[in-house]
Amino acid sequence: MTANKLTIVVDAMGGDDAPGSIVAGARLAVERDGQQVILVGDPDRMGDTGDLEVIPASQVIEMGAEPASAVRRLKDSSIIRAAEAVRDGRGAALLSAGNTGAAMAASLLRMGRIRGVARPAIAVPYPVPGSTPTIVLDCGANAECSADWLVQFAVLGIVYSRARYGVSRPRVGVLTIGEEEGKGNKLVKEVCALFDAYNWDAVDAQHVGNIEGRDLLHGTADVVVTDGFTGNVVLKSLEGAFAVFEQSVNEAFAASSALKEQSSTIASTVQPVYDRFDPTLAGAAVLLGVRGTSLISHGSSSPATIAHAIGTAESIASLDLIGKIRDTFRET
Amino acid sequence: MTANKLTIVVDAMGGDDAPGSIVAGARLAVERDGQQVILVGDPDRMGDTGDLEVIPASQVIEMGAEPASAVRRLKDSSIIRAAEAVRDGRGAALLSAGNTGAAMAASLLRMGRIRGVARPAIAVPYPVPGSTPTIVLDCGANAECSADWLVQFAVLGIVYSRARYGVSRPRVGVLTIGEEEGKGNKLVKEVCALFDAYNWDAVDAQHVGNIEGRDLLHGTADVVVTDGFTGNVVLKSLEGAFAVFEQSVNEAFAASSALKEQSSTIASTVQPVYDRFDPTLAGAAVLLGVRGTSLISHGSSSPATIAHAIGTAESIASLDLIGKIRDTFRET
């Protein structure tokens, strides 16, 4: 079984608790789940890496560093070396919990763009109870977008929705502030005009019009496009909201003396709900549009989260998204 | 006690279940809570209005109508007549659960702008467990904003935070996609430059820098400014997320046979948490910058929600926000 797994290249130095929690998560994925992992980082700082293969890299791009200049300056950084390893075919996907901008820039610079894709976008699957996730993009790669990029993001999302979740004719919408045609800011209005004119049949998808924020977790669409500023603010707002909500629910139960004896049953009942909305478990963020599979995990990722994300990276790498995106952009 | 209450003018025809649920909510507020209410609407359609005063209006602006043209065309509509009643001093505040754009346009046209305020903004208090709410604005009045408007929104929010929640030196921030200076889209970068140069001491406030989505419910700032597009998308995303989360928690408990006997205790334990994050109870949306108190309630408002919002409108009207905003903008 192990022999069938694709190899995942992990940036061991990226993350709030790197390299400790990253190495621990990678070892968990290998030793428990039978994954194949290559770690990239400073051997002197990584501690016990077990039997895992290590690609040495002497530099680190810190979480707060300015990405564009850092990736140009720090050519022996773990994220650059990791992106090169995927480019060179040593692994099938890159996983980083480090500086998101640096992971994007390293992927773009070292793996390259897929021909015809103007800009890569970060795609995040939003959980929809009882249904397949809604893929939202761009969740942060491009703070400023032009309307035609959002049409391309839609196509990237369509390919992803079909390949990963088996959605046969993905429903596509634009995130905006009202259901009625014509509601939105300047960018959204331009995108709506392009969407109305676009031949969705050619990409085997359907246009379902405007999507409001409250629809995101309701499965109203399979793919929702937005600019990377709005997408990132919404993603982080929901992450923060779920965390506060969970904490408030837990505190309410902890304060109830009547439910004291049931506390462990209550905890095990709500935990699956928390997990369902946990952004670190929901499926990881994928950078679509580059010529390699590149996943971005939360900076605060625990070893368990990293192990889970390695499994996600392996299953996404096996989808051949790059080939499918390349074919779609060649044809349209 | 009744004699001390300020009169609230309620648009009886606005809302998904109007006029039925609006009239029922208004009667509840009067008969149970001792509020003073004037209903505005079509007497032939409002049913039994009890002892409440009614201002007749023969027209209705429907929920999906294009606001700007509707308010110009439908001069005998309930929302226009209600805004006129507040302008003419017959009531201290306007409450509408109808077409948000029409409520804004009617308030702006009939009450007028406060001198010095370029654009009114919708302010929404976000609940912060264990602390005073964070006021977010603009939550939807202006889909496109210029940077100097956001500085004004900050000042409006500062006055509101101090008057309503007693915050002595409100902390102000800009909603964006990273904590570091310089992260954001073009608008945010311009706003940050203006914020850095602004004399916050003159309005007795402090600038706390960039705010990320995940900080919104954590009390990192007292006032957070954003453009009305982003603000509205985030607001509705959080509303949708809380609804889905609540439903998922409820379903998990309903499916647990081990907790069957505790189901009513569990329900009464989590209900206060749900209420805390319920957008219809959280404090209503206020249109700041117009020369009158104008509140916008959810289209789906139940009678209980309307009664609650009337109480909120009464307490906000008693703050003399208009006078305080006028003084602040005169001085700065």
Q: pLDDT, tens digit, for every residue of A251-302? A: 999 999 999 999 999 999 999 999 888 866 666 799 999 999 999 998 888 9
- In this chain, the answer to whether the domains covering A1-115+289-319 and A118-288 adopt an identical fold is yes
**Per-residue pLDDT, B20:** 97
CA distance B248 to chain A (A): 6
- Based on its alpha-carbon atoms, the radius of gyration of chain A, rounded to whole angstroms, reads 20
Is the pLDDT higher at B239 or at B182? B239
Mean pLDDT, chain A, as a whole number?
94
Q: Band of the pLDDT at A332, cuts 50, 70, 90?
A: low
Q: How many CB pairs under 8 A join A and B?
A: 175
| Res A3: pLDDT | 59
The mean pLDDT of B50-78, rounded to a whole number, is 95
pLDDT in tens, B244-297: 999 999 999 999 999 999 999 999 999 999 988 886 666 579 999 999 999 999
C-beta neighbour count of A24 within 10 angstroms? 18
Mean pLDDT of chain B: 94
User: Is A259 in contact with B265 (Cβ distance < 8 A)?
Assistant: yes
pLDDT score recorded for residue B277? 86
> Bridge-partner residues for A210, per DSSP?
A174
Q: A67-76, A133-142, B81-90, B181-190: which has the minimum mean pLDDT?
A: B181-190
Query: Taking residues A184-213, what's their average pLDDT?
Result: 96
Indicate the burial class of B82 (C-beta count within 10 angstroms; 0-12, 13-18, 19 or more): buried
Domain segments of chain B: what residues? 1-117+289-320, 120-286
Residues A233-262 have pLDDT tens digits of: 999 999 999 999 999 999 999 999 999 999
Q: Do the beta carbons of residue A303 and residue A282 sit within 8 Å?
A: no
Specify the fold of B1-117+289-320. Answer: Isopropylmalate Dehydrogenase (3.40.718)
Which residues in chain A touch residue B273, judged by CB atoms under 8 angstroms apart? 245, 248-249, 252
C-alpha span between B123 and B134 (Å, rounded): 10
Check A237 against B213: CB less than 8 A apart: yes
Residue from the list A66, A247, A265 with its beta carbon closest to the beta carbon of B258: A265
pLDDT at A260: 93
**Sign, Cα dihedral of A272, A277, A280, A283:** positive
Q: Is the pTM of this model over 0.90?
A: yes
CA B225, CA B227: separation in Å to the nearest integer? 7
The runs of H, that is alpha helices, within chain A are 20-33, 67-73, 78-87, 100-111, 147-165, 186-197, 228-254, 263-277, 303-317, 321-331
Reply yes or no on whether the pLDDT at A1 is more than 70: no
Task: For residue A234, list chain B residues with Cβ-Cβ distance below 8 A.
Answer: 213, 233-234, 237
- Asked if the Cβ–Cβ distance from A242 to B243 is below 8 Å, we say no
Residue B150 to residue B173: CA distance in whole angstroms: 11
Mutate to test the interface with B, among A192, A220, A229 (most CBs of B within 10 A): A229
Per CB-CB distance under 8 Å, the chain A contacts of B185 are: 143-144, 227, 229
* B-chain residue closest to A141, CA distance: B177
The full DSSP string for A258-298 is TTGGGHHHHHHHHHHHHHHH-TTTTT-EEEETBSSEEEE--
Lowest mean pLDDT among B89-98, B170-179, B225-234, B280-289: B280-289
The end-to-end CA distance of chain B, in Å, is: 38
Average pLDDT estimate for B201-230: 96
pLDDT for position B276: 87
Q: Sort A7 into a burial class: Cβ within 10 Å, 0-12 / 13-18 / 19+.
A: buried
B43 min Cα distance to partner chain A (Å): 30
Mean pLDDT for B32-46 is 97
Q: What is the ipTM of this complex?
A: 0.94
Is the model's pLDDT at B163 over the cut of 90?
A: yes
Q: Which region holds residue A265: left if phi is over 0, alpha if psi is between -120 and 50, else beta?
A: alpha
**CATH of the domain spanning B120-286, picked from 3.20.20.10, 3.40.718.10, 3.30.230.10, 3.40.50.1370:** 3.40.718.10
The listed CATH number (1.20.1260.10, 3.50.50.60, 3.40.718.10, 3.30.450.20) that belongs to domain A118-288: 3.40.718.10
DSSP state of B59: B
Chain B CA closest to residue A246: B245
Is residue B135 a contact partner of residue B105, using CB atoms and an 8 Å limit? Answer: no
Min Cα separation B214/chain A (Å): 4
CATH code of the region A1-115+289-319: 3.40.718.10
